[in-house]
Amino acid sequence: MSWWRRARLETPAVKKRFSPCVPSAVRKYRRTVCATASTALLAPLLIPLLTGSSADGTAADRLENDFAAAADEYHVPRSVLLGVSYLQSRWDSHHGAPSVGGGYGPMHLVDTAQAQATEPPHHGSARQKPATAGSPTSGTADSGGRSATPADLRQAARLTGAPAGQLRTDAAANVRGGAALLAATQRQLGNPLSAEPGDWWEAVARFPGTGDTASAATYANDVFQVIRQGAHRITDTGQHVTLPASPRVRPHTPPPQGAQRRQDVECPAELACSWLGAPYAEIDDDRYGNHDLADRPRDQKIEYIVIHDTEASLWSMLKTIQDPTESSWHYSVRSSDGHITQHIRTKDEAWHSGNQFVNARSIGIEHEGFLTQPDAWYSEQMYRASARLVRYLAKKYGIPLDRQHIFGHDNVPPPTAGTIPEMHDDPGPFWDWRHYFDLLGAPLRATGGPKSGMVTVLPDFATYKPRFTGCGGAGKPCKPHGSSAVRLHTEPDENAALIQDPGRRPDGDDSTEDVNDLGSRVSAGQTYAVAGRKGDWTAIWFLGRKAWFRNPKKHPTAVNATGQMVTPKDGLSEISVYGRALPEEDAYPEGVPEQTESPLPYSLLAGQRYATSSRLVGSYTDRSSFSDTPNPVVKGGEEYYEIQFGYRLAYVRASDVDVVGAPATAGAPSAPAALPPRK
């Protein structure tokens, strides 16, 4: 009996298959959605100096000059204005397009009327229902009772005398509006327009209109962390902006106030997270939902965190999570301000990934948004709140901060061959993994020498803009946008065919450039064994074959890495690859049905190598009945290695492979290595 619910969610921008992994008893649903605050992370924020050129030597400095002029005009310290803008948008303008919260320009000035007019339709309704004060989606009043108003674009227009339309589309006017709002807030607080950045902490805390004092304080502290450390980047319009480091700046802050929250919410202390529980309920005699009771990490180690996007509005997802006939996830992160809502205790198992083996070992985090509309939904405050939550959970459960343990829904392995076409593709190619890991305090970087036997995919997100289609409908080109995804070809030639995934396209159809077509893509932070090099091209082992991608020295899309790899033992021409690591037959106790192994339709061939970072024992938990207590976890003695096999993870039997370290030179012999098993 299938564990899979099959339905399709459609929006004008994207079509995605939803197929969460749930017990066989849960088969009939009214609708299907698989989904999976506070702000800012006090992680190192030094941005590597990017190089670039402009036909006009001064054109690339225009925005930086606009910041200087606005700061001088309104008597706001330049570092404060730049720091606030960095937290709001990382200085990007998004070409005048609004975020879903109605925020425009480098200062993310909010025009609520425009936000409601431009909000895209969501599944199930034509418009998102407006949040009400005090609801999990609103955040309209902070814990101190103060009304929280975001950086108001129309108020900025009144203060500067510029038309509201100009503030929406003109970066210089937008920056002036932000400076005017900061100065007005400083005066309202009874504070002088001081040249000392530390005197502006309270005005900074109020700028984004964060709905609680704890999150406002976190936001302001992050702004001043940026000011102390400095930053530099090239914006989405090619502008070079630099905030020089000011390590001696210390803000004058009011006495700290603790976050207001339910005692059982599992969240970093500096975030005011909320709780909206998912029901563990019996639907009828043979069905229950929408998650499973467990006793993790005592009965099962938590070793993964899965990053999702909702492909729906948060309002509709909060309705979904309260429906016992639906799927579930542990946390939701709001786009507009990064507010976090917890739904399931981390000790319990959510139905979120499409693979019960992964569900049993993971925490699922949903991010409000659509993968085809990253600028509207993937806000800086959402990135920062999410990264702070992930870092907290990783520390609590000992989860490594790497891309084999912190990964997207699009990297979850299919449990069986038949489920490959049903697997998901979020958060997509426009999720900025490089920036996300910077915020986690675990930056993605080169770890190997110039001719290492491994590479880590690492394009420069701001400037690497591969072609994609399907953002506005089938075949329609997407606007050029920074991406974490690198495409693979059958030969070292841009005109060569794209690599195919025989599991995803068993009929032999070619891979495409569609934004939802994962078959020929790898993503930032994923590590692979080198299979060859030719000029500006690098080959890796991918889904059992050699795959090529362009990797020029001046603008690399991957960096050299070290680590460990698996390869078939001598005498084995090929070995099976699995989407889950199950116990051996004699490990199942009486009364627990043995699970049938289902190798994936790929082979790991002799001579090929694949990166690995974990060894684990097979396990399974029977989730077939509603119970007041967790069902026991079946653990076997058979060991497996988790590998980066294609764009998704996979598992191979330890008895089938040798583990070798990455040599300094591709193709050179390497010594056997070992990884301790993860129970």
DSSP state of 312: B
197 and 81 in a common domain: yes
pTM given for the model: 0.86
333 and 287 in a common domain: yes
Q: Coil, helix or strand for 321? A: helix
406 and 271 in a common domain: yes
Domain boundary among 405, 429, 453: 429
Residue 513 lies in a domain: no
Residue 504 lies in a domain: no
366 and 306 in a common domain: yes
Domain boundary among 190, 209, 243: 243
290 and 412 in a common domain: yes
How much is the pLDDT for 371?
Answer: 96
74 and 157 in a common domain: yes
Residue 541 lies in a domain: no
322 and 278 in a common domain: yes
pLDDT (tens digit, 9 = 90+) per residue, 567-597?
999 999 999 999 999 999 999 999 899 999 8
Angle, vertex CA 632, rays to CA 627 and CA 638, nearest 5 = 150
Q: Take residue 59 and report the two structure tokens written for it.
A: 């054109």
Domain boundary among 429, 450, 470: 429
How much is the pLDDT for 128?
Answer: 34
Amino acid in position 224 = F
Picking from 539, 546, 602, 596, the residue whose alpha carbon sits closest to that of residue 574 is 602
Residue 626 lies in a domain: yes
Distance CA 527, CA 357 (A): 22
224 and 76 in a common domain: yes
Picking from 242, 249, 275, the residue whose alpha carbon sits closest to that of residue 50 is 242
> Positive or negative CA dihedral for 490, 492, 498, 504?
positive
13 and 121 in a common domain: no
Residues 6+ apart with CB under 8 A from 8: 15, 16, 17, 18
Residue 518 lies in a domain: no
How much is the pLDDT for 193?
Answer: 97
Residue 156 lies in a domain: yes
Residues 6+ apart with CB under 8 A from 190: none
Distance CA 639, CA 660 (A): 17
286 and 236 in a common domain: no
CB atoms within 10 A of CB 591: 6
Q: Take residue 454 and report the two structure tokens written for it.
A: 């491994």
Residue 442 lies in a domain: no
Picking from 265, 311, 17, the residue whose alpha carbon sits closest to that of residue 136 is 265
Question: CATH no. for residue 30?
Answer: 3.40.80.10
E strand or H helix at 486, and its extent?
strand 485-487
Structural domains in the chain (count): 3
Question: Do 140 and 73 contact (CB within 8 A), yes or no?
Answer: no
- 430 half-sphere exposure, CB direction, 13 A CA radius: 24
Intervals of the chain under pLDDT 50: 1-57, 116-148, 666-669, 671-672
How much is the pLDDT for 668?
Answer: 46
360 and 299 in a common domain: yes
In degrees and rounded to multiples of 5, residue 558 shows phi and psi of: -150, 155
Omega cis (within 30) before 290: yes
> Positive or negative CA dihedral for 635, 640, 644, 647?
negative
- For the purposes of burial, counting CB atoms within 10 Å of the CB of 421, is it exposed (0-12), middle (13-18) or buried (19 or more)? middle
Distance CA 245, CA 435 (A): 19
How much is the pLDDT for 139?
Answer: 38
Question: Do 564 and 601 contact (CB within 8 A), yes or no?
Answer: no
Residue 514 lies in a domain: no
Query: What is the phi-psi region of residue 95: left when phi exceeds 0, alpha when psi lies from -120 to 50, beta otherwise?
Result: left
Domain residue limits at 131: 59-243
pLDDT (tens digit, 9 = 90+) per residue, 311-361?
999 999 999 999 999 999 999 999 988 999 999 999 999 999 999 999 999
Question: CATH no. for residue 235?
Answer: 1.10.530
Residues 6+ apart with CB under 8 A from 417: 503, 598, 599, 600, 601
295 and 181 in a common domain: no
